[in-house]
Amino acid sequence: MDIIVPEVGESIFEAEIAKWHVADGSQVAKDDLLCELETDKISLELHAETAGTIHLAAAEGDTVKIGAVIARIEEGGADKEAPVEKSGAPEAEIPAASAAKESPAPVSAPTPVPAAAPQPVAKSATDRPAEAEKPAPQGGPAIPSLDLPQKVDDDRVTRVPMTPIRRKIAAHLLAARQQTAMLTTFNEVDMSRILQLRREHGEAFKARHGVKLGLMSFFVRAVVNALKEVPEVNARIDGDDIVYQHFYDIGIAVGGEKGLVVPVIRDADGLSPAEIEKTIRDFADRVQTNRITLADLEGGTFTISNGGVYGSMLSTPIINPPQTGVLGMHNIQERAVVVDGEIVIRPMMYLALSYDHRLIDGRQAVGFLKRVREQLEQAEAGHLGL
């Protein structure tokens, strides 16, 4: 039975073998984890559909096309000689090839052109010795400088290639900075009311719905209501047009081992707090186990990123184009604030809204963020659906 690279999405044409969990020639059982694949958008796992002996046809780190055969499971027996011969041949050829490549290097290395360089320069220097000597120092350091990067890569450093997902994240974030007029505005929210509701109703919420009452359901609902009042933050630019989107697909940034992904809560305006919390928990579970799908990541009209779970006090989140806004949450800290003319201690959180200034003006951005803050500070128990 051939193990092939499955189709993941229309825009994905190749994948990288991130890790083999089985050895060449080993016995595998049905449903055993065989390998992890990485594309520029998601990671996925391949499992054995039958039991037998597996013969690998590709190595870790190889980039393979969708539909390519990367291994074969031989049911009911193992021909262990074949894999050894196949794997031995390339290993024997590699040193030979590398030796062939290395042998010209010592021949060409001693024959740079140090002696020839001063002669043409001296003739073009109008017989002034001071200028004739300048090319020699310039040409001299150039040869040793080429060796410096090689000397740095010793046992004190480790060099590894970027994974497809990391490369895609890097390119996407760089494009966001270069192709949008991004600006960030800040505010702070008193989290006393939210924390009180969680203390008073958290157990009943979990008993009724089977999921923990977190912060995100409050934030998602506050964001959706603010987006309805400031529709530009939920819009996108398409050429010279503004596309106003009358639906609310909210991306939730989730950190995984291999990078940040943003699965999307579809039609969040129609979901209860319990449904929002269950959806986010499911996303987090599937990200950690490499079961998130491309369909989970596509689209989205606005994104929420919670850097507070990592201890971030303040940051400027980057827009996820073609979206025009992203809300950054941060950690909750007790701080001294003035309420009704008195200094009191309250659990405070900084909020950051990064937005595309081509579409959203400062007045709209500040108004959106103030509306989010007001809804959080005035949240009611009726929001919980108990």
Tell me the CATH class for 1-127: mainly beta
Which range, of 47-56, 115-124, 184-193, 360-369, averages the lowest pLDDT? Answer: 115-124
pLDDT at 81 over 70: no
% helix, strand, coil for the chain, step of 5: 40, 25, 35
Backbone angles phi, psi at 117, to 5 degrees: -65, -45
316-355 tens-digit pLDDT: 999 999 999 999 999 999 999 999 999 999 999 999 999 9
145-159 tens-digit pLDDT: 444 445 556 789 999
Which range, of 113-117, 165-169, 170-174, 379-383, averages the lowest pLDDT? Answer: 113-117
Contact between 287 and 263 (Cβ < 8 Å) = yes
Q: What is the pLDDT of residue 10?
A: 67
3-24 tens-digit pLDDT: 999 887 767 788 889 889 999 9
- Residue 188 DSSP one-character state: E
pLDDT at 293 over 50: yes
Quick count: other Cβ atoms within 10 Å of Cβ 10?
Answer: 7
The residue among 242 and 179 whose pLDDT is bigger is: 242
Rounded Cα distance between 70 and 59, Å, is: 8
Rounded Cα distance between 245 and 234, Å, is: 6
| 357 given a catalytic annotation | yes
Active-site annotation holder among 2, 79, 267, 361: 361
Return the domain boundaries, the chain. Answer: 1-127, 166-384
> pLDDT category, 165, cuts 50, 70, 90?
confident
Mean pLDDT computed over every residue of the chain: 82
Rounded Cα distance between 349 and 326, Å, is: 16
pLDDT at 180 over 80: yes
Backbone angles phi, psi at 15, to 5 degrees: -145, 165
The mean pLDDT value for 240-244 works out to 96
Model confidence, pTM: 0.68
Q: Is it true that the peptide bond before 263 is cis, omega within 30 degrees of 0?
A: no
Rounded Cα distance between 246 and 228, Å, is: 8
> How far is the CA of 245 from the CAs of 94, 161, 235, 299, 301, in angstroms?
56, 39, 6, 12, 8
The token duo for 223 is 């964001």
Q: What is the pLDDT of residue 151?
A: 53
pLDDT at 366 over 90: yes
Contact between 16 and 42 (Cβ < 8 Å) = no
109-126 tens-digit pLDDT: 444 444 444 444 444 434
What amino acid occupies position 93?
Answer: E
The residue among 137 and 65 whose pLDDT is bigger is: 65
The mean pLDDT value for 151-177 works out to 81
Contact between 69 and 3 (Cβ < 8 Å) = yes
CA 304 to chain centre: 15
Which among 326, 303, 314, 319 has a CA at the least distance from the CA of 350? 314
Q: What is the pLDDT of residue 268?
A: 97
Active-site annotation holder among 55, 246, 357, 383: 357
Tell me the CATH class for 166-384: alpha beta
Percent of the chain surpassing pLDDT 70? 78
pLDDT at 175 over 80: yes
Contacts of residue 102, defined as CB under 8 A and 6 or more positions apart, other chains included, come to none
